[in-house]
Amino acid sequence: SQQGEEDPQALSIQEGENATMNCSYKTSINNLQWYRQNSGRGLVHLILIRSNEREKHSGRLRVTLDTSKKSSSLLITASRAADTASYFCATDVEAGTALIFGKGTTLSVSS
Amino acid sequence: EAGVAQSPRYKIIEKRQSVAFWCNPISGHATLYWYQQILGQGPKLLIQFQNNGVVDDSQLPKDRFSAERLKGVDSTLKIQPAKLEDSAVYLCASSPSLSYNEQFFGPGTRLTVL
């Protein structure tokens, strides 16, 4: 079953704008991760946030986690055409267990 | 460092035929995963190995799917017989150990069942 649900399903923006996508999940988690998938390619790990963390940054990425609301958001600042991809949140309920992915948000950045 | 290798990249078969996919994880990675990704959805775990032992195969349709990792390195996933609903991308991922959170994905095998 899908643990995470991303919102929106699709997002279209112009280069230079910020993109925000959200993820909600159902059960308590150990970690939450965000992955990117370019068309026809495998998934690439972007960032991990632990259940006891509230915010994390990596380059142009900012992730927040609200465990009381069982939700996370991924912000991509100053978007580029190369950011066009599908973005998935994935959770694990405890260390050593497999990731459970959401359905993803498809981001399109036009120049 | 070489990434996760998968072959073939594409496969088209008729329903009721058999098919096998191969995965070679990153060298030294003890944990290996097979995921099924149906179009428009996120990946769903089929099976997880730690070395040559199965950790989780609770979502593997065992009446038609099988997987092995005999020497604890590369792995094969087989479907026999295939159904139309098996059309999907099959992704292999690996990580250094069970406690390592990030997974490294291969490019996937796109299967079309006609």
| Cβ contact A44:A37 at 8 Å | yes
Nearest alpha carbon to residue A70 among A8, A21, A2, A5: A5
Q: Is the peptide bond before B25 cis (omega within 30 degrees of 0)?
A: no
The Cα B52–Cα B75 span in angstroms is 9
Of A43, A97, A100, the CB nearest to B105: A43
Q: Report the residue of A33, A99, A105 to disrupt the B interface, i.e. the one with the largest count of B CBs within 10 Å.
A: A99
More confident: B3 or B97: B3
Query: DSSP assignment, residue B76?
Result: E
CA-nearest residue to B10 within chain A is A40
Whether residue B76 is predicted with pLDDT greater than 60 in this model: the reply is yes
Residue B99: which pLDDT band, with cuts at 50, 70 and 90? Answer: confident
A70's torsion region: left (phi>0), alpha (psi -120 to 50) or beta? left
Give the per-residue pLDDT at A3.
62
Number of cross-chain residue pairs from A and B with Cβ atoms under 8 Å apart: 58
Which residue carries 């159904």 as its tokens?
A: B83
Q: What percent of chain B has pLDDT over 70?
A: 99
Q: What is the mean pLDDT of chain B?
A: 95
Give the per-residue pLDDT at A16.
97
Give the per-residue pLDDT at B73.
93
Give the per-residue pLDDT at B70.
84
Give the long-range contacts of residues B70-73, CB within 8 A, separation 24 or more.
Answer: B72/B30, B73/B24, B73/B25
The Cα B101–Cα B70 span in angstroms is 24
Residue A97: which pLDDT band, with cuts at 50, 70 and 90? Answer: confident
What value does the mean pLDDT take over residues A55-70?
A: 97
Q: Which residues of A touch B99 (CB under 8 A)?
A: 95-96
| Cβ contact B48:B54 at 8 Å | yes
Query: DSSP assignment, residue A99?
Result: P
Give the per-residue pLDDT at B1.
65
Q: What percent of chain A has pLDDT over 90?
A: 80
| Cβ contact B109:B4 at 8 Å | no
A44/B105 touch (CB, cutoff 8 Å), yes or no: yes
Give the per-residue pLDDT at A2.
52
What value does the mean pLDDT take over residues B24-37?
A: 96
Q: Report the residue of B101, B109, B112 to disrupt the A interface, i.e. the one with the largest count of A CBs within 10 Å.
A: B101
Query: DSSP assignment, residue B100?
Result: -
Q: What share of chain B is helix, strand, coil (3-state, %, to 5)?
A: 5, 50, 50
Residue B98: which pLDDT band, with cuts at 50, 70 and 90? Answer: confident
Whether residue B71 is predicted with pLDDT greater than 80 in this model: the reply is yes
What value does the mean pLDDT take over residues B1-12?
A: 93
| Cβ contact A104:A88 at 8 Å | yes
What value does the mean pLDDT take over residues B99-111?
A: 91
B56/A31 touch (CB, cutoff 8 Å), yes or no: no
| Residue-wise pLDDT tens digits, B82-91 | 999 999 999 9
Whether residue A1 is predicted with pLDDT greater than 70 in this model: the reply is no
CA-nearest residue to B95 within chain A is A96
CA-nearest residue to B108 within chain A is A42
